[in-house]
Amino acid sequence: METREQLTRRGLRLAQFTVAYNVAEGAIAITAGLMAGLVSVVGFGVDSAIESIAGVLVALRLSARLRDGAFDERRERRALRLVAVTFFLLAGYVTFEGVRSLVEGEVPDSSPLAIGILVASLIVMPLLAAAKRRVGMALGGDPLILADAAETRICVMLSASTLLGVGLFQLTGAAWLDPVAAFVIAAFAIHEGREAWEGELVEDDDDADEGGGADEGGGADEGGGADD
């Protein structure tokens, strides 16, 4: 069984990978979206940038844990709320752009590049989210890492809804599908942001059971560390 330090280091590596991947993904998506006039794809790229910011916040806190060998509840809580703010920023941006697109009647172009980056995200992000969730649950339900996992799950939902909207638009020519996909994304982001703000991110039953087992198995180690 991995120690808390090993799990924390694994969480740090995942956060660092998230930042690197999302910087590249965001740059490609925003460029493709602006060139094609696809609001949801631009929103997807902005989400990648926001997730990079969240990844940096998580990485900084995990690095501090490893450096100090202690859990600073006040700073962890502040970092968690900053992650929550990134959810709300995403929701606000895509809602604004979606409404603007509907009001102005913008008709986007097709974009094979946008479809390619969305498909890549559907492959990479579920694996990354699952890995983060496992680490968070193994650490007894670590709220900061679970918030980061939730934001990565938002990226998966975002990829799927954006790809669906873009794909249906190309098949039907219905321009309203693109902003509607953006509104779905905003709803997901607001929900996850509220839970992150309150520290109440909820996993499914299987994950909760897994987390409980990890917590029971690791509780003695954590307590022992405190006694030391």
The least confident of 7-21, 91-105, 136-150, 199-213 is: 199-213
Query: Does 210 or 149 have the greater pLDDT score?
Result: 149
pTM: 0.70
Neighbours of 220 (CB within 10 A): 9
Query: What is the reported pLDDT for 224?
Result: 45
For the chain, the residue count is: 228
**pLDDT per position as a tens digit, 70-113:** 666 777 677 778 878 877 887 888 788 778 878 877 666 777 88
pLDDT of the residue at 28: 94
At residue 16 the predicted structure's pLDDT band, cuts being 50, 70 and 90, is: very high
pLDDT of residue 199: 62
Q: Which fold has domain 4-215?
A: Alpha-lytic protease prodomain-like (1.20.1510)
pLDDT in tens, 197-210: 776 544 443 444 44
Q: Domain spans of the chain?
A: 4-215
Q: At what angle do helices 4-36 and 39-68 cross, to 10 degrees?
A: 160
The mean pLDDT of the chain is: 78
Could you tell me the two tokens for 32? Answer: 């493709």
pLDDT of residue 218 exceeding 50, the answer is: no
pLDDT of the residue at 205 = 38
Q: What is the percent of the chain with per-residue pLDDT over 90, rounded to a whole number?
A: 18
Angle at the Cα of 11 (from 5 to 17), degrees rounded to 5?
140
Neighbours of 97 (CB within 10 A): 21
